[in-house]
């Protein structure tokens, strides 16, 4: 999966990443179905080991343009996880309470505890994306945030948190199809918001903001992965594989409590 990992200090040009790429699964959707099932089984066991050990923790950050598949990815990754050890945190428009504090305050209180997996549906990166594109704060303010965010994530890593960040990369044409599908399908119509069309008009501005965020905040402690996401089955394969590989590297074992003297009657 290293071909999708952004190296520290790498200058990202999203034109160099094909959102239709499926090269690792030449067998297509049929191959993906088999491999994703196997990956899901691995993830379920690894998450239970993480929870049982109550030592390390995992933070998964999902970012992407509207309709890129954050919700679908969450359903795939967390399917079968122990609910006691998993959480999803979604970051929408800041409240007045949030705005009275530093921009990382609402994020820091949602990071995982020991043994926990937390998935961020959007994240602190909104403060160098939406804030930048909509000119909500002056440029000198959001420019400083790249280093602040990198330092924040390094601190989390130093405290035993695995930080994995995924940019779900779709094409503008694919986004258009998915938005139209939301309008046409009564079961999906509730997802559609008129603001989606307004944000789509800012596609190029968001793309540039993402390129800068990916370039400036991918580190050894908290790497970014640019995930081809036009094909949902391939997106799930890449994200699931990266998470499973990271957890397997921990080489966790089930703890052995002292059972001496215990008799079940």
Q: Is residue 91 part of a domain?
A: yes
Given pLDDT bands bounded at 50, 70 and 90, which one contains residue 265?
confident
Question: Could you give the percent of the chain with pLDDT greater than 90?
Answer: 86
Domains of the chain: total? 1
Above 80 in pLDDT, residue 124?
A: yes
Q: Is residue 40 part of a domain?
A: yes
Above 90 in pLDDT, residue 236?
A: yes
**Please, are residues 233 and 29 in contact by the beta-carbon 8 Å criterion?**
yes
Q: Is residue 129 part of a domain?
A: yes
Which residue range forms the structural domain that includes residue 186?
Answer: 2-248
pLDDT higher at 107 or 261: 107
Question: What is the rounded average pLDDT of the residues 215-233?
Answer: 98
Above 80 in pLDDT, residue 259?
A: no
CATH number, domain containing residue 90: 3.40.50.300
Per-residue pLDDT at 190: 86
pLDDT by residue (tens digit) across 50-101?
999 999 999 999 999 999 999 999 998 888 788 889 999 999 889 999 999 9
Above 90 in pLDDT, residue 189?
A: no
Per-residue pLDDT at 82: 84
For residue 83, what is the DSSP state?
A: G
Length of the chain: 265
Measured from the Cβ of residue 212, the count of other Cβ atoms closer than 10 Å reads 17
Above 80 in pLDDT, residue 258?
A: no
Per-residue pLDDT at 126: 97
H runs (alpha helix) in the chain: 28-53, 70-78, 96-99, 105-108, 130-133, 139-158, 172-184, 194-200, 203-217, 232-248
Report how far Cα 91 is from the mean position of its chain's Cα atoms: 12
Q: Is residue 29 part of a domain?
A: yes
């Amino acid at each position: 999966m290293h071909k999708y990992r952004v190296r520290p200090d790498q200058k990202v040009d999203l034109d160099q990443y094909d959102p239709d790429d499926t090269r690792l699964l030449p067998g297509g959707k049929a191959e993906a179905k088999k491999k994703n099932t196997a990956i899901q089984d691995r993830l379920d066991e690894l998450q239970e080991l993480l929870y049982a050990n109550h030592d390390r923790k995992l933070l998964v950050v999902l970012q992407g343009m509207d309709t890129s598949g954050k919700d679908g990815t969450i359903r795939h990754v967390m399917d079968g996880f122990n609910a006691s050890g998993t959480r999803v945190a979604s970051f929408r428009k800041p409240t007045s309470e949030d705005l009275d504090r530093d921009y990382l305050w609402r994020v820091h209180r949602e990071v995982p505890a020991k043994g926990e997996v937390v998935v961020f549906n959007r994240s602190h990166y909104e403060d160098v994306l939406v804030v930048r594109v909509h000119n909500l704060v002056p440029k000198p303010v959001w420019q400083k945030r790249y280093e602040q965010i990198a330092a924040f994530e390094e601190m989390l890593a130093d405290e035993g948190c695995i930080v994995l960040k995924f940019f779900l990369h779709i094409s503008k044409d694919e986004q258009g199809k998915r938005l139209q599908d939301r309008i046409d399908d009564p079961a999906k119509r509730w997802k559609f918001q008129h603001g989606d069309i307004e944000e789509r008009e800012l596609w190029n501005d968001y793309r540039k903001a993402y390129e800068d965020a990916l370039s400036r905040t991918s580190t050894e402690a908290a790497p970014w992965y640019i995930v081809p996401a036009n094909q949902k089955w391939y997106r799930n394969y890449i994200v699931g594989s990266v998470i499973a590989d990271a957890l397997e590297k921990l080489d966790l074992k089930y703890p052995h409590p002292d059972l001496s003297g215990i008799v079940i009657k």
